[in-house]
């Protein structure tokens, strides 16, 4: 497992990587390569693709390609940061609870259950309509809500691993809990966690679009890809393809992320097989 083995990477993961690199590049360079700004009206409403504009125009007559390029940055940024925060919080607390056991595990788990028992979307709706509407609030709300799910899965995995013999051996050796988490649990829990990261990242994008659907999310005229789908949804019943463009972009991104995650998954489980 080193850089020389590029040829052993399956084609699916290679495609995924290439697509992610392209998306990230578009996210960074989008505003410079976009033919128009994301707010100016350039044509009629819902002009078809491949006409005056490569990807057509949106519900106000703005250039869809430009909106998509501007949207790439905000979509990737929000989804990635929110997922990263939720994983850091959720997994660390989950492992900690599993190893520590006792009252701390109880407090964390009951607190987590309490938070999880609230309906997510409605909770987000209430919190986002109460707190000031900015990017930070949005990301934190998404991250906190998501981290409860990660905590639960992280803890379940860690409890399973914790019950295995080699953890007991480590304990008998007198290793510290932080050492056990880092050296024994983390490597063994990576397999399902990485699979989860890919899905959670996709869910973050979709959750963002659900928020947009309910009138929350990022501030106009900026729009994440989910919001672009929502803005153009009224055309779907009439066969207008405008909402198909951002929907396809979301699909390509999430599938690419999961292709890479799948490959990492198979790679790490090989590793684990060697150890176990």
Which has the closest alpha carbon to 201: 90, 84, 107? 84
241 binds another protein (CB under 8 A): no
Nearer CB in complex with another protein: 92/199:
199
The nearest distance, CB 6 to another protein, in angstroms, is 18
The nearest distance, CB 85 to another protein, in angstroms, is 19
The nearest distance, CB 136 to another protein, in angstroms, is 15
Q: What is 10-54 written as a DSSP string?
A: -HHHHHHHHHHHHHHHHHHHHHHH-SS-SS-B-SSTTPPTTSSST
Q: Is 56 left (phi over 0), alpha (psi -120 to 50) or beta?
A: left
* Count of residues that interact with another protein, criterion CB under 8 A: 79
Nearer CB in complex with another protein: 29/122:
122
Rounded to a whole number, what is the distance in angstroms from the first to the last CA of the chain?
18
Which of 24, 80, 84, 262 touches another protein by CB under 8 A?
A: 262
Which of 18, 33, 54, 251 touches another protein by CB under 8 A?
A: 251
Q: Where are the alpha helices (DSSP H) in the chain?
A: 11-33, 64-100, 102-116, 120-130, 135-162, 165-173, 177-179, 186-213, 225-231, 244-275
Q: Which stretch binds another protein (CB under 8 A): 21-29, 48-56, 66-74, 234-242?
A: 234-242
Nearer CB in complex with another protein: 3/273:
273
192 binds another protein (CB under 8 A): yes
Residue 260 φ/ψ, nearest 5 degrees: -65, -40
**DSSP 3-state assignment of 101?**
coil
Nearer CB in complex with another protein: 86/209:
209
What does the per-residue mask of binding to another protein show for 42-81, with x meaning CB under 8 A? ---xx------------xxx--------------------
Which of 1, 4, 172, 237 touches another protein by CB under 8 A?
A: 237
Residues in 138-167 at the binding interface with another protein, rule: CB under 8 A: 149, 152-153, 156-157, 159-160, 163
152 HSE (CA, 13 A, CB side): 14
129 binds another protein (CB under 8 A): yes
Residues in 204-223 at the binding interface with another protein, rule: CB under 8 A: 206, 209-210, 213-216, 219-221
Residue 63 φ/ψ, nearest 5 degrees: -70, 120
The nearest distance, CB 238 to another protein, in angstroms, is 4
- Tokens representing 240 are 């207008």
């Amino acid at each position: 497992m080193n850089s020389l083995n590029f040829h052993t990477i399956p084609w699916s993961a290679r495609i995924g990587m290439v697509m992610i690199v392209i998306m990230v590049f578009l996210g960074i360079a989008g505003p410079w390569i976009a033919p128009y700004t994301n707010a100016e009206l350039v044509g009629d409403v819902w002009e078809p693709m491949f006409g005056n504009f490569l990807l057509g125009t949106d519900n106000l007559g703005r250039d869809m390609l430009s909106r998509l390029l501007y949207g790439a940055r905000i979509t990737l940024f929000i989804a990635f940061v929110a997922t990263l925060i939720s994983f850091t919080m959720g997994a660390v607390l989950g492992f900690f609870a599993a190893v520590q056991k006792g009252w701390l595990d109880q407090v964390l788990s009951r607190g987590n259950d309490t938070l999880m028992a609230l309906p997510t979307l409605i909770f987000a709706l209430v919190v986002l309509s109460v707190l000031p509407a900015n990017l930070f609030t949005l990301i934190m709300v998404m991250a906190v809500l998501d981290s409860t799910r990660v905590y639960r899965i992280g803890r379940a995995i860690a409890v399973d691993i914790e019950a295995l013999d080699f953890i007991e051996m480590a304990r008998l050796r007198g290793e510290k809990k932080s050492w056990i988490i880092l050296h024994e649990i983390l490597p063994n829990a990576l397999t399902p966690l990485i699979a989860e990261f890919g899905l959670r990242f996709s869910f973050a994008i979709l959750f963002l679009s659900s928020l947009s659907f309910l009138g929350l999310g990022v501030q106009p005229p900026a729009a994440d890809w989910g919001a672009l789908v929502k803005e153009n949804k009224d055309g779907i019943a009439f066969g207008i393809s405008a909402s198909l463009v951002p929907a396809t972009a979301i699909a390509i991104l999430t599938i690419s992320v999961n292709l890479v995650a799948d490959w990492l998954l198979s790679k790490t489980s090989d590793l684990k097989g060697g150890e176990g």
